[in-house]
A and B are shown apart, each in its own frame.
Chain A
Amino acid sequence: MTRKILTFYLEGQMFGIDIRLVKEINRKIRYTEIPGAPDFIVGLFNMRGQVVTVLDLASRIQGEKGTIAQHPTCIILKNHNDEGEYMGFVVDRTGDVLDIEDDWCEPLPGNIKNIDGKYIKEVVKLEAQLIMIVDPDKIFS
């Protein structure tokens, strides 16, 4: 089956996310830092009256706090669980939307270091490169 993924870069590494989960991409967001919040929370920002919790995906996946620009780009997800709460995460920049086939995908190999495997759903083998597809359910749990 063909699917579409949105690619994005985090600390120089390319990742992907199922495009059906993405609500929108916001560039140059103005967020509010929250003192006392867990490390992986960047802050909250106001998306047309909705409060969006912004996560530091790098700190979640790579285990150390990423460098966050003052006005970063943020990928915001649909709130598919109907919780009324929007979630987003900051990325260095977004890439292309790619068509991928199911049989290009396989689980994360066992030898990967510096990456917490539970947040990665699968790896897509493109001819030119490999893309890790993130699993938002795990990331935002």
Chain B
Amino acid sequence: MLQNEEFIQEFVEEARLHTGQIESDLLELAGNAGDMELINRLFRSVHSIKGTAGFFGLDNIVKLSHAMENLFGAVRNQKIHLEDSSIDTLLESNDCLKEMVEDVGNSHEVDISSFIQKISSFLQEESTPDKAKNTLGLSHTRNSDLRLDESQQQQVEEAIKHGHKLYRIRLNLYQDLDARGVSPIAFFNKIQSIGQILESYWDASQIEDLDDVLTNDIGYIFLFTTVLEKNLIALALDIAEETIEELDVNIKPGQYRQVLLDGLDREGNPSYNGPKSPAPAKKQDRGNKKNSGSQKSAATLALEDSIRVPIGLLNDLMNLASELVLGRNQLIRGLEDYRKKIEGIEPVLQNIDNITTQLQERVMHTRMQPLGNVFNKFPRIIRDLSRQLSKEIRLEIQGTQVELDKSIIESLTDPLTHLIRNAADHGIEKPEEREKRGKDREGVISIGAFQEGGHVSILVSDDGAGLDVEALKGKILDRELISQQELANMTEKEIMEQIFAPGFSTASSVTDVSGRGVGMDVVRTNIDRMGGTIEIDSQLGKGTTFKLNLPLTLAIVSSLIVEAKDQKFALPQVNLQEVVRVKPGDKDRQIEKLSDSPVLRFRGGLLPLVDLSQVLELSSSQEILNNFEDSSTIIRILVLKIGQRRFGLIVDAIDDDEEILVKPLPRHLKECRCYSGATILGDGRIAMILDPEGIAGKAQIKFSDVEIDSPKKQVEKSHSEQETMLLFSCSGNEFLSLSLSMVSRVEEIRPEDIQLVGDKEYIEFRGRSLRLVRPEDYLPISENDYEDSKLYVIVPKLESHPIGILIGKVHDTVILDRSLSRQDIKAYGIEGTTFWGKKMVLLLSLDQLFEMASPKYHRASESIPGKGE
């Protein structure tokens, strides 16, 4: 009856939470039918929906939730026992509730009769027909037909026994709530926090026709029990005392009904809108006042622990925080020359620097949501699927508390659902088959999440049949995805990855569950779009595991700033595989032309090249070609990958790594194809974020399978055994090395630049303070004084709390065989040793070193050295 949009929205959000809770509770109940705690919770959830829906006159929602409530009431009183079939019905009813809640405006048109019928049939089976009728008199009966069911009467008795008083409150909806901006939900919660609602009624008797709605108010009457005195209730609920009426409770059991009815009659003729409810739960089980009191305060606390904030506000906050970061950078840069002259400014700047960083991090966190929001959908899916497929499946979920950005959480639902369905449909075998293979009849699908450094990994695995590589080969050849010869050269893992190829489906037959033509390629595309990756691992007969790696947030992306024709662009690191410099006169590496199109021999394959300024039409193709001929310039090529495909992007200059805040692409620029968004750089200028896929499309690069696969194998080989390492020394003579992929840059500094803060050393690096560590302080290597006037700092990649490594000398970058490394020298901070020529080289472990240097921010177990992407 209340039409206030905002309140209705609040109701919808609240009801959404409740229906979600009901679903997961019902599923849990299937395993533990006798769990009173669950039943009570279910009862409360349905009761809340019913109670609040009443304020808005959402009849259908009230009726259906009431029917469900009755059923739970009966279960609670152990009158009936819930079978699997009744849980199914309740799940379906809950689905219907969900639908109605999502579209409250049209909820009155939804046909709920079948659900109500089914639910009442369960009740009838177990209880006498008479009682069933009592509890389910659902139509708009006159108040003279009012029946309080047994449980309600019991409840009144119980309450009175414990010193509760019985009250009746009459409110005018518009005058008392709407006009004062009190939300019905909040009001309902308030009442629930001081007492228990037994019954509520509409009284629209003063309203004769539509015009009257404006002049006469709608009465909302409810009966409730509480220990409080009248004046305290008025105070607690913030309503006038006159609206509260105490009812006589000193009457014999059995007469309550009459008293209540009398009370109603004196009040004119309230129309009766659905029979009501026993009140919330725990109370009846334990039956004491104290208990109900503590339950209430706990509920109130939980409510106040979190508040709802519109997502737009959070985004604004995030923008502002990023602005603050830029502002801070400008401030520090601007004060550069005065820092030493102004006394006391240094710690202030440090402090602002620190706080700003933390603020940005915290604000980012507000957009994070637990993965549980996605995972919680799966028990239901598995339950339905195991029925449909007649398989026995157990679902194990871990890591529901791991948090990701809201937008990622939302776009994860589809891919994960697909993987889960696939696992149930194609992975897990039928129970008989499993027995034959000596496995448990019950298959296990597990889904788990954990955070690893700057990204989150999600594992979806099953203990089913696994992928049959031979069968896959047959299918690949059937569909002519790859030639036989290439197939022969592929590793098992590469063959398995073919399931991500478009047009591939391993299902031996199309089933109702999956095989609807939406394949794994869509899953991969979705994950790619989020800047994540997906890997597969499978063992025939043992099961399959998918591993998803996802960034924590979409909003901040680590990017490389590049230039074309003096204009800056940001290129997300996730797409960047490596940077190749073609020097003039280099015999081994030169750009060649195939009918005027530039290509590069790269790791045994040909890499198509695209010039950024040409794609963006900043310069003509002739200019570009001339450029190649001009043998005096170094050409910089970024090797970009899109899924399995790769191409080279030629840029004029490469600036810096920068963490950029992604702003959505303005709509007028959507057609340019080359951009995925915009960002604001440190100098306040806007730069476009390049979209490799769009660029490849615009440059009309056609990828053939040959290009895809041959270079790839080479790359993997080189990754697994050899790595480009930076070779350096500290103050001693030992040679240390670090994978180049983990190095952002090496800076030359002067010893006098180093500033001491406490016992820690810092330098100013790009307007920020950078903590320095000397490896010799932590590692078993010799320590001397530096004599040179030049020192170097290694700035590692992708550290949220960057630390620079102070070194004395850079020797070279060399390709070292990591597989040679052994554990001759054991020390925390050293991964192993290898040889460069005859010289022994210590392989540094960044994570362990940083953990020792700054245990607060660096936990080696949490960040595993990535490939620098």
Q: Do A and B come from one complex?
A: yes
Interface residues of A (CB under 8 A from B): 30-38, 41, 43-46, 48-51, 53, 55, 83-85
Q: Is B664's CB under 8 angstroms from A85's CB?
A: yes
How far, in Å, is A101 (CB) from chain B's closest CB?
A: 35
How far, in Å, is A120 (CB) from chain B's closest CB?
A: 20
CA distance A30 to B686 in the complex (A): 9
Of B413-421, B667-675, B705-713, the stretch lying at the interface with chain A is B667-675
**Which among A41, A51, A85 has the greatest number of chain B C-beta atoms within 10 A?**
A51
CA distance A50 to B319 in the complex (A): 8
CA distance A8 to B688 in the complex (A): 30
Chain A residues with CB below 8 A from B567, complex form: 32-33, 35
Q: Is A49's CB under 8 angstroms from B666's CB?
A: no
Q: Is A32's CB under 8 angstroms from B685's CB?
A: yes
B352 within 8 A of A: no
Which of A32, A33, A49, A53 contacts B319, CB < 8 Å? Answer: A49
7 A-B pairs in the complex with CB atoms less than 8 angstroms apart: A34-B675, A35-B616, A35-B617, A46-B680, A51-B686, A53-B668, A84-B664
Chain B residues with CB below 8 A from A49, complex form: 319-320, 322-323, 326, 680
Q: Is A46's CB under 8 angstroms from B617's CB?
A: no
**Which among A35, A37, A51, A83 has the greatest number of chain B C-beta atoms within 10 A?**
A35
B687 within 8 A of A: yes
Residue interface bits B613-624, CB-to-A below 8 A is 1, else 0: 001111000000
Chain B residues with CB below 8 A from A30, complex form: 684-685
CA distance A46 to B687 in the complex (A): 10
Chain B residues with CB below 8 A from A43, complex form: 686
Q: Is B666's CB under 8 angstroms from A51's CB?
A: yes
> Known: A44-B678, A48-B323. Contact between A32 and B686, CB under 8 A?
yes
Chain B residues with CB below 8 A from A46, complex form: 680, 684-686
Chain A residues with CB below 8 A from B315, complex form: 84
B663 within 8 A of A: yes
Q: Is A41's CB under 8 angstroms from B669's CB?
A: yes
Across the interface, name the chain A residue whose C-beta is closest to B678. Answer: A51
Enumerate B582-636 residues with CB–CB distance to A below 8 Å.
615-618
How far, in Å, is B759 (CB) from chain A's closest CB?
A: 38
Interface residues of B (CB under 8 A from A): 312, 315, 319-320, 322-323, 326, 567, 615-618, 663-664, 666-669, 671-675, 678, 680, 684-688
Q: Is A34's CB under 8 angstroms from B319's CB?
A: no
How far, in Å, is B338 (CB) from chain A's closest CB?
A: 25
CA distance A81 to B617 in the complex (A): 33
Chain A residues with CB below 8 A from B688, complex form: 32, 34, 44
How far, in Å, is A33 (CB) from chain B's closest CB?
A: 7
CA distance A36 to B618 in the complex (A): 9
Chain B residues with CB below 8 A from A31, complex form: 686
CA distance A32 to B326 in the complex (A): 18
Across the interface, name the chain B residue whose C-beta is closest to A50. Answer: B319
Chain B residues with CB below 8 A from A35, complex form: 567, 616-618, 674
Q: Is B687's CB under 8 angstroms from A38's CB?
A: no
> Known: A35-B618, A36-B672, A50-B319. Contact between A85 and B666, CB under 8 A?
yes
CA distance A70 to B527 in the complex (A): 42
CA distance A48 to B673 in the complex (A): 27
Chain A residues with CB below 8 A from B685, complex form: 30, 32, 46
Q: Is A85's CB under 8 angstroms from B672's CB?
A: no
**Which among A30, A31, A33, A49 has the greatest number of chain B C-beta atoms within 10 A?**
A49
CA distance A33 to B671 in the complex (A): 15
How far, in Å, is A50 (CB) from chain B's closest CB?
A: 7
CA distance A51 to B315 in the complex (A): 14
Chain B residues with CB below 8 A from A51, complex form: 663, 666, 678, 680, 686
**Which among A34, A38, A50 has the greatest number of chain B C-beta atoms within 10 A?**
A34
Across the interface, name the chain B residue whose C-beta is closest to A55. Answer: B668
Q: Is A45's CB under 8 angstroms from B686's CB?
A: yes
CA distance A41 to B322 in the complex (A): 26
Chain B residues with CB below 8 A from A41, complex form: 668-669
CA distance A95 to B335 in the complex (A): 39
The 4 closest A-B pairs by CB, nearest first: A35-B616, A49-B323, A53-B666, A36-B672
Which of B617, B618, B666, B673 contacts A44, CB < 8 Å? Answer: B666
Chain B residues with CB below 8 A from A84, complex form: 312, 315, 664
CA distance A33 to B568 in the complex (A): 10
CA distance A43 to B506 in the complex (A): 49
Across the interface, name the chain B residue whose C-beta is closest to A53. Answer: B666
Other A-B pairs beyond A34-B672, A50-B319, 11, CB < 8 Å: A30-B684, A32-B687, A35-B616, A36-B616, A38-B668, A49-B320, A49-B323, A49-B680, A51-B686, A84-B312, A84-B315
Across the interface, name the chain B residue whose C-beta is closest to A48. Answer: B323
Which of B320, B669, B673 contacts A53, CB < 8 Å? Answer: B669
Across the interface, name the chain B residue whose C-beta is closest to A43. Answer: B686
How far, in Å, is A44 (CB) from chain B's closest CB?
A: 4
Chain A residues with CB below 8 A from B684, complex form: 30, 46
Across the interface, name the chain B residue whose C-beta is closest to A40. Answer: B668
Chain A residues with CB below 8 A from B674, complex form: 35-36
CA distance A43 to B170 in the complex (A): 62
How far, in Å, is B671 (CB) from chain A's closest CB?
A: 7
CA distance A36 to B688 in the complex (A): 11
Chain B residues with CB below 8 A from A34, complex form: 669, 672, 675, 688
Q: Is A37's CB under 8 angstroms from B669's CB?
A: yes
CA distance A103 to B323 in the complex (A): 46
CA distance A61 to B315 in the complex (A): 35
CA distance A45 to B663 in the complex (A): 12
CA distance A31 to B617 in the complex (A): 19
CA distance A85 to B669 in the complex (A): 12
Across the interface, name the chain A residue whose C-beta is closest to B565. Answer: A35
